[in-house]
Amino acid sequence: MDLKTVARDKLNGESRKQIIGGSAAGLVVLLVVLLLVLTTCGGSSSGADAGDKEKKAKGPSEAVVTIAPKDGADEVATSGKLRVEAAKGKLTEVKVKDSKDNTVEGRFLDGRTAWKPATHLNAGTKYTVDAVAEDSEGRESAKHGTFTTFVPKDTFVGYFTPENGDTVGAGMPVSVNFNRPIANREAVEKAISVKADPGVDVQGHWFGDQRLDFRPKEYWKAGTKVTVDLNLSGVEGSNGVYGKQRKTVKFTVGRQQVSVVDAKKKTMTVTRNGEKLKTIPITSGSPANPTYNGKMVISEKFKVTRMNGDTVGFGGEYDIKDVPHAMRLSTSGTFIHGNYWMAKSQFGEVNGSHGCVGLFDARGGGMKGTPGAWFFRNSMVGDVVEVKNSQDETIKPDNGLNGWNMSWEKWTAPQ
């Protein structure tokens, strides 16, 4: 029960008896008490405070919002030009959106007296800016502005692998090859994000000035979903050359399959998600042309393809027009493929190739029961083939999608 109710009850109860009894003095005392109670519950005291606050809040805000670039500006640079500031106040809200209603993320600076975008802006895009600031008395000041970024004359693009929607093996890196040399590597790398679910640290590494690969420390886990955001539009890759891509790519890691080729034993053991599937007799590079050692990722698959020694530095030593079940392991021409021109008895006994890994197969690739056909059917782009105990060197990390041959420390070291 509140004080007003108590006062009313007193008036209607015992005190009323005094009034009926004709006590004028009692009536005066009661009225004074009632007045004090009602004033305390207040309304008049707190109302006066509210009135003071309202009086203070009247009048224009002292906060002044400024937006750079100026309203209506054209040909605005994509980096370093957008900034919102508040004088004699603090920013409470900043919204920046492009013409497609995409929000530009940013951060407050200097005690919320300034704001700037977290990244570059897209080229050839109109933006709207709405900002609100508040002065020390809580009075708001707002400002609205628009501007349009410039359209670059010279541009670059990145050609990426894997493609959107692909399902790949656990060794597949994200590889981006640029059509122009990149001088501002840090800016370009910052504009490409690679995120995994479940989460894992993913880092980029440059091979020269036109290729950037991303991978985690270890092979991807089976079932991982990877999202690649290419936010290159408006990024200055080199002097006067800007990116023009804004694309999101998503792919899934189907499984973790690693096939270990032992060149000395002349066998290959296929393991998937930690379970051994099969051991297959193979032939690898001859003593004169040994197979590279190292971890190699399948980057392409061909049911039948032509292999000509002229294309990889072997002159006219061979030209086989119908090599079955071929899967590329390196840019320089290393494959794992079916082989029908060697006797079946030689697989597991002789290393006789020009550097490829051969599996017994049938001409034309039509027979399903051969080792070559089985491995082709049970392999996908992104699976790993690891060669050991060969007499050759370890394959270079940039010869194919083979960055796994570089330690994590070297991969993540400043470049």
Beta strand ranges found along 207-318 (DSSP E): 211-216, 225-231, 236-238, 241-243, 246-255, 257-262, 267-272, 275-281, 294-297, 300-308
Q: What pLDDT, on the 0 to 100 scale, is given for residue 43?
A: 39
Q: How far is the C-alpha of 395 from the C-alpha of 358, rounded, in Å?
A: 18
- Residues in the chain with pLDDT values less than 50: 1-55
Q: How far is the C-alpha of 31 from the C-alpha of 9, rounded, in Å?
A: 13
CATH of 154-255, one of 2.60.40.3710, 2.60.40.1530, 3.40.50.720, 2.60.40.1250: 2.60.40.3710
Q: What pLDDT, on the 0 to 100 scale, is given for residue 316?
A: 67
Q: What pLDDT, on the 0 to 100 scale, is given for residue 318?
A: 67
Q: What pLDDT, on the 0 to 100 scale, is given for residue 15?
A: 41
Helix (H, G, I), strand (E, B) or coil at 68: strand
Q: What pLDDT, on the 0 to 100 scale, is given for residue 39?
A: 41
Q: What pLDDT, on the 0 to 100 scale, is given for residue 25?
A: 42
From-to residues of CATH 2.40.440.10 in the chain: 257-405
Catalytic center residues:
337, 356
Give me the long-range contacts of 96-99 (CB less than 8 A, separation at least 24): 96/127, 96/128, 96/129, 96/130, 97/127, 97/128, 98/122, 98/125, 98/126, 98/127, 99/125, 99/126, 99/127
Q: Which fold has domain 257-405?
A: L,D-transpeptidase catalytic domain-like (2.40.440)
From-to residues of CATH 2.60.40.3710 in the chain: 154-255
From-to residues of CATH 2.60.40.3780 in the chain: 64-149
**Which residues pair with residue 174 across a beta bridge?**
214
Write out the two tokens for 232: 């290159």
Is the Cβ–Cβ distance between 402 and 296 less than 8 Å? Answer: yes
Task: Please state whether the peptide bond connecting residue 162 to the residue before it is cis, i.e. omega within 30 degrees of 0.
Answer: yes
Q: What pLDDT, on the 0 to 100 scale, is given for residue 2?
A: 44
Q: What pLDDT, on the 0 to 100 scale, is given for residue 130?
A: 98
Q: What pLDDT, on the 0 to 100 scale, is given for residue 342?
A: 94
Residue type, 145: G
- The class (CATH top level) of 64-149 is mainly beta
Residue type, 378: N
